[in-house]
Amino acid sequence: MPGLLKKTLFSLASLLSIASVVLLVVALATEKWVTGKILCKTGAELVNASDPELVKFVGDIYFGLFQGGKIRHCGLGSRRSKIYIFPNLVKKLNGALHVMIILFLFTAIVFALISFGFCIYNARKIPYQSIKGPGGIYLWNFVAGLFGVFGVVSFIAALKLHHLTERVANFRENVFQFIILEEHYDFSFWLCVASTATHGANCIVVAISGIHFPKVQTKKPEEPTVTAEDLLY
């Protein structure tokens, strides 16, 4: 059976693994990967709006990997609309890249769960095979973190290189054209980044468990020895 310190460290590692899963699930389920400001160019040009009047034609947009929403201001008041990435919008995007991002994150979830199982196993037993011990935990955390990085980098590439926000904003807009004024990564994106970081923290915790700390030994009091010469006195 592992000692108390190793049990505590592997239990902490298991919590980090499950935290990574929770962060990724929340990131996938929420709609705030990107938020931004959009300008209704067509509406502004129709009334020949000057710089101070352009504020009336600025709306908001937000979206995640599956859905989002936007608020348009095109001279007819505020108009809210829902954005659904699947099944139609994804065809207008770089569909292969978008699906790859989702697959990368789901793969990261799978390997994070495997890491969780290995951490629980090591907290309860001392494995006889190295792949079931800390070596295996390092491997699964590395793979999970790697796929998380792939997902984050692929999303950044889709946003910056393939003008993801602009494509989403102008989907099914036959009359009006929108220009992206601002775009920011929001909390859903940073949850994914945090999930990737937990795997690095997990490896550090497992590494600490392999350190052999010196045991504190209490010095026993010396017992008085009585010799034959002492008895003579």
- The string of pLDDT tens digits covering residues 25-64 is 999 999 999 999 999 888 888 887 777 778 888 999 999 9
pLDDT band at 10 (very low <50, low <70, confident <90, very high): confident
Residue 8: the pLDDT is 85
- The string of pLDDT tens digits covering residues 199-226 is 999 999 888 876 655 554 555 555 555 5
Residue 146: the pLDDT is 96
Instruction: Out of 76-85, 191-200, 209-218, give the one with best mean pLDDT.
Output: 191-200
Residue 219: the pLDDT is 54
pLDDT band at 134 (very low <50, low <70, confident <90, very high): confident
- The string of pLDDT tens digits covering residues 94-115 is 889 999 999 999 999 999 999 9
Domain annotation covers residue 26: yes
Domain annotation covers residue 214: no
For residue 232, pLDDT over 60 is answered with: no
pLDDT band at 2 (very low <50, low <70, confident <90, very high): low
Supply the CATH number for residue 83's domain: 1.20.140
The whole-model pTM stands at: 0.85
Domain annotation covers residue 117: yes
For residue 230, pLDDT over 70 is answered with: no
DSSP the chain: ---HHHHHHHHHHHHHHHHHHHHHHHHHH-S-SEEEEEEEHHHHHHTT--GGGGGGGEEEEEE-SSEEEEEEESSS-EEEEEEEIIIIIHHHS-HHHHHHHHHHHHHHHHHHHHHHHHHHHHHH---SSGGGTHHHHHHHHHHHHHHHHHHHHHHHHHHHTS-HHHHHHTTT-SS--EEEEEEEE-HHHHHHHHHHHHHHHHHHHHHHHT--PPPP-PPPPPPP---HHHHH-
Domain annotation covers residue 229: no
Q: How many domains does the chain have?
A: 1
Domain annotation covers residue 227: no
Write out the residue range of the structural domain in which residue 95 sits.
4-209
Domain annotation covers residue 215: no
